[in-house]
Structure 1
Amino acid sequence: MPGTPHPSTAATIIVIGIGADGWSGLSDESRHHVSRASVVLGGPRHLALLPEVAGQRRLPWPRPLRAGLRELLAGLEGAVVALASGDPMVSGIGSTLVDALGPDRVVVVPAVSSVALARAEMRWPAESHATVSVVGRDVSLVRRQLAPGRRILVLSADEHTPFQVARLLVDAGYARSLVTVLGDLGSERSTVVGPRAAAGLVDDHGDLPRLNVVAVDCVGPHLGGWVAGLPDDAFEHDGQLTKRDLRASALARIAPAPGEHLWDVGAGAGSVAIEWMRADPTCTATAVEADAERVARITRNASRLGVPGLQVVHGTAPEALAGLPAPDAVFVGGGATRAGVVDSAMAALRPGGRLVVHGVTLETERLLAVLYAEHGGELTRLGVESVAPIGSFTGWAPARTVTQWALMR
C-alpha cells in the first residue's frame, strides 16, 4: 500500500495529512498509524483534533522549527507520527522532514490539500492559477506573481494574512483585484468571505478564521515580466545601477535556471540579483555590497519586487565572499580591479558555472582583455544610445560604453 513503511525503513517518521475536519476525516490507514504511535508530533491545533490514546506522548513542534528539529527528533524512540495540514508535501512539514532526515526516513500519507479544496471552491483549474505560500515567509512573495488577469492562491500564515495581502495589492496598484477568503476548508465550519475588492478589505479588521486560503483575481497594471530587463525606474537607486539593456545582456549570459545560486558582487541597487531570483521561485542569490545605504536599498528593492529572500551581505569583495554558498553564476558589476575579486569568483564557481564581469574604466577594460586572452570566453563592448532633447530638436544621447567579459567554466 502506498505510504506504508516496509521493514527496511523501520526508523521512519510517518507524516499524516489531516484536514480541518480532524479525526473523522482520516482514512483507516491514517487512524491506524496514529493509534499505534508512541509519539505524535504536530502543532497544538492538530494535536487537539485527536482522541486520547493511553501512554502516547504528544509533542508540539519547536520554535523556531528548523533550529530545534534535529534535537527533538534525536530523542524520540518507537513509532513516531507527525501531523500536517492536508498534503504534507505542499509547503508543509513533510518537505522539512525530508530535508532534515532524507527521503528514506520519511513516509508520507497525504490528505486532500488546502490548495485542492480552494481550487474546487473557486472552480479554478489547476493550470489557471499560481500558488504562493506565506507560511513562515514574507507576504511580499505575492508581488512576483502580480499581472493583469492573474489568479493566485495564497496559503495564509494566520488570520492576519488576508489583510496583509490586501494592503500589498493596494500598494502595488492592484486595489481593484477581487479577494476571496476561504476559511476552514473541508470542515463543517468552512466559510467563504468575498469576493471583495482589495481596497475594501484593507481597513476591515473583522474576524477571519486562522486557517484560511486567500484567492486573488488580479486587476491592475503590467508591472514587468520575468524575462530580464525591468525598467530602470522599477528600482530605487542612487545612479549605481546596471541599466536595463546592459542588465538584460548580462542575465542572458549568466542564464538563471531553477534551483541555481548567484553571487551579485558590487551589487549597487541589486538589480541583477533581483531579476535572477524573479526568473524562477527556486533561484537564490547573494548580493554583496560595501556601502551601507545601498545594502538597505537592495533589501527594499527585493521586497518590493517580490523576492524578499535575497541574501544581502554588507562587505567588500573578495573578503566578503568567504563562506558564502557556492555559486552557479557570478556577476561582477563593480570592483573587478580589486585584487582577488575575479580570481575568487572563478575559483568558487561550480562546474558549468557562468561568470560575467562589466567594466567602464580603462583599468577594468585592460584587466578583462588579459582575462579573455588567458581564459577565453566572450568579450563584448556594449554601447547604448537613447533619444534625448538637443535644444528644440531631438537626438541620440550615448551612455557610457561597457566592456563585458563572459565565461562558462
Structure 2
Amino acid sequence: MVKKWLSIVGIGEDGLEGLNNIALSLINHAEIIVGGSRHLSMLRKDDLREKLTWKSPIDTSITEILQHQGKSICVLASGNPMCYGIGNTILRHIDISEITIIPAPSTFSLICARLGWSLTEVETLSLCGRSPALLQSYIYRGAKLLILSEGKNTPKMVADILTKRGFGGSKITVLERMGGIQERLIKGIAATWEDMEIADLNAIAVDCIPDPGMTGFSRLPGLPDNAYHHDGQLTKREVRAVTLSTLAPKPGELLWDIGAGCGSISIEWMRSHSRCRAIAIEQSASRLQYIANNATALGTPNLQIINGTSPAALKDLHQPNAIFIGGGVTSEGLFDICWDILPIGGRLVANVVTIEGEQKLFAWRDQIGGELIRIAIQRAEPIGKFSGWRAIAPVTQWVVIKNSQFPNYTQNG
C-alpha cells in the first residue's frame, strides 16, 4: 500500500479549537506544517517544527513539498480544501492515495446555513484571483449566487456589475469571518451599495432581482445579435443556435473557433457550462478587440484569443474536441490539419455563404461523408406601412463526426 505522507486539514474561523481529534492528531504528529501566515499563526508560539509558507506562484510551494516527500507533512487550509481550495491544486501533482483530507464546513455551506438557502439550488463561483467578468454569465432572474470574495473591495465591484447589467434591485449580503466570534452580516441593495469598512475575509450572497423589463441572458445558444459588438462579421442568432447544437458542447471540452469574427460561437460554447473551454482564432486586429470586449461583457474572460491566420495559427494548440470553421474554409491545407488533430468522436462544423466555400464543403463531404444543411432565415421587417419578409444570406453547413472509418484521412491520402 502507498503510504499517506501528506494530510490537508481544513480549519474554520474558530481555529484549532474547532477541529476534531483526527484532524488535531494529523497536525500534532506532522514533521512539517504548510500554510498561509494566518493559519501558521494559530500554532503554539513554542512550536519549533519546520514550517513552509505559501509562495507565489503556488507551484513553487508544491515543488517544495515534493522535495520533502516521505516525511509527515500537514497542510493547513481554510474551510473545505476541495471547494475552490488548495486541495484541488495539490491533487494535480500528488495522487489521492498519498493524501488524507479532513475538510471543515465550506464557506458556501456556512452561507446557506445562515441565510436558509438550499446548497443544491444556488450558483457558486470564486473571484479570488479570477476576473470579475466571470460573474456576468451567472446573472439571471431569480439566481441565488454565492461568491468567494477577493477582498474588501469585491462587494462594491459585484454591486456595480449587477447595477450595470440592469439588476440594481438585487439583494446583497456580505458575510465576514463566518464561524468565529467576530462573524458579521452586512445587507444592502446593489444600486445603492456604498463603500464601507469590510473585512478582507468575506463572502457574498446575492439574490438576483432584475430591474423592470430586464431578465438577463439565457445560457442556451442564440443570444440576441445586439448582445455583441461587431462589424457585421457575426453568425446570426438563428444560425448560431443551430451551429452550437451541432457542435454539441459538453463540460470540460475544448473548441477551436477558426475565423472567429466577433467571437459569438466560442463565447456561447463557454457560456453553456463553466468548464467548457474555447480558443478563438482571428486575424483582424479590430475583430480581436471585439472578441475581447464581448468575452468580458458576456462572462467568458478566460476565452483564449489567438491573433493569426489559419492554418499557420493552429500550430501547437491543445487538441480540441470540436472545431468550428466560420472563416477561411478555402485556405490551403486547413481541413487536413483540422481533421488530423480531431480525436475519434470529435465534431467538425463549417459554415459558408459563398459558392467557392460550398464547393470546398461538397468536396470534403464526397471524401469523408457527413451531413450538408442549408439554413435559410427570413425575418419580418417594415415595408412602408406594411410588413414583409427579408431574407438573411443563406448559410450552407457541413457537419461531420470523426469515427474509426476515416480516422486519418487527408486529401492526399
Secondary structure of the residue that 1:379 maps to in structure 2? Answer: strand
1:8 is aligned, of 2, 6, 24, to 2
Query: For residue 206 of structure 2, what is the amino acid of its counterpart?
Result: V
Residues in 2 aligned to 1:406 and 1:186: alpha-carbon distance in whole angstroms: 54
Query: For residue 177 of structure 1, what is the amino acid of its counterpart?
Result: S
2:89 corresponds to which residue? 96
1:173 corresponds to 2:166: yes
Structure 1 residues 373 and 27, CA gap change in structure 2 (3 angstroms)? same
Deviates more, 1:96-105 or 1:321-330: 96-105
1:207 corresponds to 2:197: yes
1:105 offset after TM fit, Å?
A: 3.0
1:76 corresponds to 2:68: yes
2:307 corresponds to which residue? 314
1:407 is aligned, of 396, 400, 403, to 400
Q: Structure 1 unaligned runs (5+)?
A: 1-6
2:228 is aligned, of 212, 227, 235, to 235
Q: Is the 8 A contact 1:16 1:88 kept in 2?
A: yes
1:192 corresponds to which residue? 185
- 1:40-55 aligned at under 5 Å gives the runs 40-52=33-45, 54-55=47-48
Deviates more, 1:41-50 or 1:212-221: 41-50
Q: Is the 8 A contact 1:159 1:210 kept in 2?
A: yes
1:276 corresponds to 2:278: no
Residues in 1 aligned to 2:177 and 2:281: alpha-carbon distance in whole angstroms: 43
1:104 offset after TM fit, Å?
A: 2.5
CA RMSD of aligned residues (A): 1.4
1:219 corresponds to 2:209: yes
1:246 offset after TM fit, Å?
A: 0.8
1:20 is aligned, of 4, 13, 18, to 13
1:53 offset after TM fit, Å?
A: 5.5
Secondary structure of the residue that 1:101 maps to in structure 2? Answer: coil
Residues in 1 aligned to 2:172 and 2:239: alpha-carbon distance in whole angstroms: 38
2:109 corresponds to which residue? 116
Q: Is the 8 A contact 1:42 1:84 kept in 2?
A: yes
Query: For residue 281 of structure 1, what is the amino acid of its counterpart?
Result: S
1:36 corresponds to which residue? 29
1:396 offset after TM fit, Å?
A: 0.9
1:70 offset after TM fit, Å?
A: 4.0
Residues in 2 aligned to 1:341 and 1:102: alpha-carbon distance in whole angstroms: 40
2:326 corresponds to which residue? 333
Q: Is the 8 A contact 1:38 1:55 kept in 2?
A: no
Q: Aligned residues: percent identity?
A: 38
Per-residue CA distance 1:47-78 (angstroms, 9 max, x = gap): 22222464312222121223x24432232251
Secondary structure of the residue that 1:9 maps to in structure 2? Answer: coil
Q: Given the two structures, how large is their TM-score scaled by the length of structure 2?
A: 0.93
Secondary structure of the residue that 2:93 maps to in structure 1? Answer: helix
1:364 corresponds to 2:357: yes
Deviates more, 1:51-60 or 1:175-184: 51-60
2:407 corresponds to which residue? none
- 1:282-301 aligned at under 5 Å gives the runs 282-301=275-294
Residues in 1 aligned to 2:285 and 2:3: alpha-carbon distance in whole angstroms: 51
Query: For residue 265 of structure 2, what is the amino acid of its counterpart?
Result: V
Structure 1 residues 22 and 373, CA gap change in structure 2 (3 angstroms)? same
- 1:116-195 aligned at under 5 Å gives the runs 116-194=109-187
Query: For residue 230 of structure 1, what is the amino acid of its counterpart?
Result: L
Residues in 1 aligned to 2:12 and 2:313: alpha-carbon distance in whole angstroms: 46
Secondary structure of the residue that 2:2 maps to in structure 1? Answer: helix
Secondary structure of the residue that 2:382 maps to in structure 1? Answer: strand
Q: Structure 2 unaligned runs (5+)?
A: 403-413
1:106 corresponds to which residue? 99
Secondary structure of the residue that 2:266 maps to in structure 1? Answer: helix
1:279 offset after TM fit, Å?
A: 0.6
Q: Is the 8 A contact 1:35 1:53 kept in 2?
A: no
Q: Is the 8 A contact 2:62 2:90 kept in 1?
A: no
Residues in 1 aligned to 2:61 and 2:300: alpha-carbon distance in whole angstroms: 26
Residues in 2 aligned to 1:47 and 1:55: alpha-carbon distance in whole angstroms: 12
Residues in 1 aligned to 2:377 and 2:358: alpha-carbon distance in whole angstroms: 17
Per-residue CA distance 1:176-222 (angstroms, 9 max, x = gap): 1000000100111100001x111121xx2211111111000101122
Q: Given the two structures, how large is their TM-score scaled by the length of structure 1?
A: 0.94
Q: Is the 8 A contact 1:97 1:106 kept in 2?
A: no
Q: Is the 8 A contact 1:98 1:105 kept in 2?
A: no
